[in-house]
Every structure is written in C-alpha cells, then in structure tokens.
A and B are shown apart, each in its own frame.
Chain A
Amino acid sequence: MIGIVVFPGSNCEFDVESAFRELGEVSQFVSHRERELGDYRAIIIPGGFSYGDYLRSGAIARFSPIMDAVSRYADNGGKVVGICNGFQVLTEAGLLPGALQRNAGPKFVCGEVRVRVGTTRSALTNLMVEGEEFSLPINHFEGNYTADHATLEDLEEHHQVVLRYVQNPNGSANDIAGIRNREGNVVGLMPHPERAGLGFGLPDHARRMLGSVLAIDSVSAAKVAH
C-alpha cells in the first residue's frame, strides 16, 4: 500500500491514487495532521497548492505534523517521492537540496515536455534506462530549480539528477526536472508522471516510473541505490 500525504490545497492526490490503482497498488490518503506513518511501501507527496502556496510554495506544509514522520520515514530508508508541489515541500523541508522559485519564463507552464533520465539509481527510475527520453505533463509556476554553485556541483558529482528537461521550460539550473537525495530513496520532480496518458491509461514510461517506486522494498531502497 502507498501512502499519499494530503495537505489543505493538495489537488493531485486522486491522480496519484488512480495511477497506482492502474498498477494494481492500493493507496491510502494520509492527513497532514497525522504524527505517525503506517507501514507503506512508499510515501507520495502529491501536487497542488498546499496551504495556498502562501509565503512560499511548500513553506507552510513543511511544518505540518506529518512532515516529522515523513522525515523519520526517509531517514530509515523509506521511499518518499514528491511530485510538483511535493518537490517544493521536500526542498523546503531540507529532505532535498536547493529550492524551486518562480519560472524564468515569466509564465505559468502547462503542457507536455520531453525529459531525459539522468540516473536509474533512484526510487523513481530503477526500472528506466539511463538516457532514455519521453514526454511528461508539467503544470507549474514555481518549478525553476535553483541552488548555489557548490550544491549544483555536488548534485552532478553524485549523479543525483534523476530527470533533465530536453528543452528547459522554466529556467531550472542544469535543466533539472527532478533530483534524488544521496541515498536515492527520496526523489522530487516537477513533471507529473501520474497524469501521463490523460486518463486513457498510463503510457509505458509512466508505468515503469511509478512501478519503480514499488519495485524494491522500503528498507533496501537506500542500499540498492548506492
């Protein structure tokens, strides 16, 4: 079973739930008010506008009670994937480095973009092929990945860029669309794999991507990624 964290203002939890249902995996919604996490194969932090994106995207959600439990879960090797607003929450919480600021565009971006797999050593890409390209939906205003020079070098050196845009839609440093932590069990990305296929069925690459989350058990995720 997958745990999907729901904050006030989350709005992609049903997309995530239905995508995993397609893969035969049941989900449970977990309220932002909870202080403990049950036994899940992985935790997904879905897209949306948690707490109205007030202050900064993800800035208030990161202090909600559930996030302490999510941090502990990640520290123990549990798989945590943040999609879009979920990625913003994970960077604000310090579970992933850097920050997501307003698009350089300057516009809200909505559509399909080509992305390339940067590493298969992550909870989200272990069933993918390094270098393979495919399209995923994006839908965001603050997806411009930003970090200082040292952090970017560190990410590259440790192969932590999970997904890169083929054509950068938002000004992200190093064309970053998604990153992982050093261990590989925590991943954040701006594109929405759960929404690929527009409800007509997940395309193969999205199945493998979300399938990657289910492919290894939580405890060994960190080990396998190394």
Chain B
Amino acid sequence: MKYRISVRVMPKAGISDPEGKAIHDAALQLGYGEVVQVHAGRSFEVEGEYDSKDAAENGAEKLAERLLANPVIQTYEIVAVEELR
C-alpha cells in the first residue's frame, strides 16, 4: 500500500537557531511586536510503499533519524501518516 508520511524537523532545544532569530527580527521590524520567538525548521512529505501504517511510520522514522534530520542539532517528529488510494 502507498502511504504519505509527514515529517517535521526542528532545531533541538538549547541549540542556537540563527534562522529563527533572523525571522523573528524581521517580524518585529514589520511591527508584529507580539511575536516572542520564532523557530525555523523543515517539513518533508515522504511517499512510499509499505505493508502497513506501522511499517510506514517505522520506515519514515529510520529515514528521519539517518537522513532527514541531523540528531546533533535537530529533532524530528512524524506528524502524520496517511494511506494513499
């Protein structure tokens, strides 16, 4: 079966996030004074053939750990797993 897995990669807590900070600075400059913090990450949509929803989730997790995220500075999260028809 074909699945689409959404993976979100974010900077690890405690690791500096220069991109998020630059975006925050820009937001403040535009007058959005209520914005306290911005974190910049990336999201991926992986489509693949898996036997089950669990297998899809496990597969995406391995891929995220090894390739999509750098565990030294980032964390990842499987946000959604949906079966494609």
Using CB atoms and an 8 Å cutoff, list the residues of chain A in contact with chain B. Answer: 55-56, 59, 63, 91-92, 97-99, 101-106, 144, 146-148, 171
Asked whether, in the complex, the Cβ of B73 is within 8 Å of the Cβ of A99, the reply is: yes
B36-51 vs A, CB cutoff 8 Å, 1 = contact: the mask equals 0000000000000000
Q: Which residues does B use to contact A, with CB under 8 Å?
A: 14-16, 18-19, 21-22, 67-68, 70, 72-73
Q: Complex: how many Å from CA A195 to CA B57?
A: 47
Given A63-B67, A106-B21, A171 contacting B72 (CB threshold 8 A): no
Contact at B15–A146, with CB atoms within 8 Å?
A: yes
In the complex formed, the residue of A with least CB distance to B69 is A56
Chain A residues positioned under 8 Å from B16 (CB to CB): 101, 104, 144, 146, 171
Which residues on B sit within 8 Å (CB–CB) of A101? Answer: 15-16, 18, 73
Q: Which of B15, B19, B21, B70 is within 8 Å of A92, CB to CB?
A: B70
The answer to whether A144 touches B70 (Cβ under 8 A) is no
A147 and B67 contact, Cβ closer than 8 Å, known pairs A101-B18, A104-B18? no
Of A63, A99, A105, the residue contacting B18 (CB under 8 A) is: A105
List residues of chain A with CB within 8 A of the CB of B15.
101, 146, 148
B22 touches A106 (CB 8 A): yes
Closest to A173 in B: B16
Is the CB–CB distance between A99 and B19 below 8 Å?
no
- Could you say which of B16, B19, B21, B70 has the most chain A C-beta atoms within 10 Å of its C-beta? B70
Please name all residues of chain A whose beta carbon is closer than 8 Å to the beta carbon of B14 when the two chains form the complex: 148
Q: How far is the CB of A95 from chain B (nearest CB, A)?
A: 13
Measured CB to CB, the closest approach of chain A to B12, in angstroms, equals 8
Q: Tell me whether A106 and B19 are in contact (CB under 8 A).
A: yes
- Contact call B72/A147, Cβ cutoff below 8 A: yes
Distance A92 CA – B67 CA, assembled complex (angstroms): 10
| Cα(A103)–Cα(B21), bound, Å | 11
Contacts of B73 in A (CB 8 A): 99, 101, 146
Additional 5 contacts, C-beta under 8 A, given A59-B67, A99-B72, A146-B73: A56-B70, A106-B19, A146-B16, A146-B72, A147-B72
| Shortest CB distance B61–A (Å) | 17
30 contacts between A and B (CB under 8 A): A55-B67, A55-B68, A56-B70, A59-B67, A59-B70, A63-B67, A91-B72, A92-B70, A97-B72, A98-B72, A99-B70, A99-B72, A99-B73, A101-B15, A101-B73, A102-B19, A103-B18, A104-B16, A104-B18, A105-B18, A106-B18, A106-B21, A106-B22, A144-B18, A146-B16, A146-B72, A147-B72, A148-B15, A148-B72, A171-B16
* Least distance between B13 CB and chain A CB atoms (Å): 11
Q: Nearest CB to that of A106 among chain B residues?
A: B22
Chain A contacts for B67, CB-based, 8 A? 55, 59, 63
Closest CB-CB distance, A136 to chain B, in whole Å? 23
A82, chain B: closest CB distance, angstroms: 16
Contacts of A97 in B (CB 8 A): 72
